Amino acid sequence: MRINLFISFLFIHFVCGAQFLTPIHPELEGDALLGALVEDFKTSVTLTSGEGRDFMYSDIHNVGGTVFGVYTGHGIFIPAGVDPSTFVFMDGSSDGINAEHVWPRSKGAQFGVANTDLHNLFPSRVLVNTNRGSFPFAEIEDNETELWYFEDDEINSIPNNNIDAYSEGIRGVEGRFEPRESRKGDIARTMFYFYTMYKPEADAADPDFFELQLATLCAWHESDPVDEEEYNRTFKIAEVQDGKPNPFILDCSLVSRAYCQAEDLECPIIPTVSTSNLPNTLPYKFFPNPIDDTLYVEAMGASQLLILDLQGRLMIREDFDTRTTVNTTSLVPGTYILVINEASYKLVK
């Protein structure tokens, strides 16, 4: 089997104010890019509704035993031995936690995989989830905001301090919802993901819903970059969804190449490395690119090589001195991480 591995730098540590980039189809844009994203990243495997909620509350959004809501930071501690979904729901109390469909169910996320895809689901305080309803996301002027939400409280006047930690809402015919500042980018990348993967369902339910929010979502993607929590979350979800993360988290340039060209968004780029002509200053070389069943590696001395899948599972390990040939026939087509002496690179089929 011919396996093509295209190697590019992967930054493991985040840089303040910058976004990650794992290049995904850098040669494509517009409809061609969207089609390729659906082909590569749309999952056909999800947990059931109940299983997904238990996994979300116990594994994805659980910090030291406490699950936190996305919009307000409201948290509930889950003791050992209880059913997570039942316990945090608190019989539907306003201070309970349930699952928020960021792309609303009534707008195309009501049935099938579109309904259970965990990339579109976040814990939310029940009252805030209810009040957000199916309203579009938007920037709301402070003097127009009707309700401010923080932790387990809501007020109807402008907060005196910590205003960025509040989500804001307007109800009624012209209802809108603005999440807290630290989650705006997460929400935007979730919306881009859903509309890309489930466009037929979304357009059938409301063909104007996405376009109404597009400019706002583009701005939020730029103003609130991916952080480590969001990055880890998408790969945690990928563990139970056919190994497929949200690509808009992996490559921040996808938003501008697919949707926001008019917004003139710029994204810090991690340059793709041509493995057939690596600079002499790099400590390691990999060739050829693409490869068949063998990867050739050169280093400057005794080294350890690891190849991991996207869930962090060890696939290949070798210790070598200056150079080695790696037999890759055991690798199925896919995306991997190559680690040499703690330097990490992305391997993409």
Examine residue 29 and state whether it is found in any structural domain, yes or no. yes
pLDDT category at 21 given cuts 50, 70, 90 is low
pLDDT tens sequence across 191-247: 999 999 999 999 999 999 999 999 999 999 999 988 878 988 998 899 899 889 999
* pLDDT score for 143: 96
CA angle centred on 91, ends 50 and 74, rounded to 5°: 85
Do 14 and 83 lie in a common domain? no
The pLDDT of residue 16 is above 50: no
Do 249 and 282 lie in a common domain? no
Do 90 and 157 lie in a common domain? yes
- Contact partners, residue 275, CB within 8 Å, separation at least 6: 6, 7, 285, 286, 287, 288, 289
The pLDDT of residue 275 is above 50: no
The pLDDT of residue 20 is above 60: no
Q: What is the mean pLDDT of the chain?
A: 84
Side-chain-side CA neighbours of residue 2 (13 Å) = 6
Do 311 and 175 lie in a common domain? no
| Higher pLDDT among residues 341 and 147, named by residue | 147
Do 91 and 71 lie in a common domain? yes
Chain Cα centroid distance, residue 330? 28
pLDDT category at 14 given cuts 50, 70, 90 is very low
Which tokens go with 90? Answer: 């608190």
- Domain end marker among 258, 289, 323: 258
Q: How far is the C-alpha of 297 from the C-alpha of 299, rounded, in Å?
A: 7
Do 212 and 120 lie in a common domain? yes
Do 123 and 180 lie in a common domain? yes
Examine residue 239 and state whether it is found in any structural domain, yes or no. yes
Containing domain of residue 87, as a range?
Answer: 25-258
Q: How far is the C-alpha of 50 from the C-alpha of 99, rounded, in Å?
A: 10
219-228, 255-264, 335-344: range with lowest mean pLDDT: 335-344
pLDDT category at 8 given cuts 50, 70, 90 is very low
- Domain end marker among 205, 231, 258: 258
pLDDT tens sequence across 154-171: 999 999 999 999 999 999
* pLDDT score for 209: 98
The CATH number of whichever domain residue 343 belongs to comes to 2.60.40
pLDDT category at 324 given cuts 50, 70, 90 is confident
- Domain end marker among 258, 287, 313: 258
* pLDDT score for 22: 66
Please indicate, yes or no, whether the overall pTM of this predicted structure exceeds 0.85: no
- Mean pLDDT, residues 284-298 taken together: 71
| Higher pLDDT among residues 150 and 271, named by residue | 150
Examine residue 263 and state whether it is found in any structural domain, yes or no. no
* pLDDT score for 348: 61
* pLDDT score for 51: 97
E-strand ranges in the chain read 6-9, 62-63, 66-68, 75-77, 97-101, 121-125, 147-150, 153-155, 167-170, 176-178, 285-287, 294-309, 314-327, 335-340, 343-348
Do 37 and 87 lie in a common domain? yes
Phi, psi angle pair for 137, to nearest 5°:
-80, 145
The pLDDT of residue 18 is above 80: no
* pLDDT score for 271: 34
What is the full DSSP assignment across 151-204? TTEEESS--SS-GGG-EEEE-STT-EEE--GGGHHHHHHHHHHHHHHTHHHHHH
Do 9 and 82 lie in a common domain? no
Do 292 and 332 lie in a common domain? yes
Do 307 and 173 lie in a common domain? no
Do 73 and 49 lie in a common domain? yes
**Total structural domains within the chain:** 2
1-15, 117-131, 245-259, 333-347: range with lowest mean pLDDT: 1-15
Residue type, 18: A
The pLDDT of residue 153 is above 80: yes
Q: Give the residue among 166, 176, 180, 183 at the shortest CA–CA distance from 221.
A: 183
| Higher pLDDT among residues 136 and 278, named by residue | 136
Examine residue 237 and state whether it is found in any structural domain, yes or no. yes
**End-to-end CA gap in the chain:** 12
| Higher pLDDT among residues 300 and 162, named by residue | 162
Q: What DSSP state is assigned to residue 240?
A: T
pLDDT category at 19 given cuts 50, 70, 90 is very low
Examine residue 188 and state whether it is found in any structural domain, yes or no. yes
In percent, the amount of the chain with pLDDT more than 70 equals 82
* pLDDT score for 276: 34
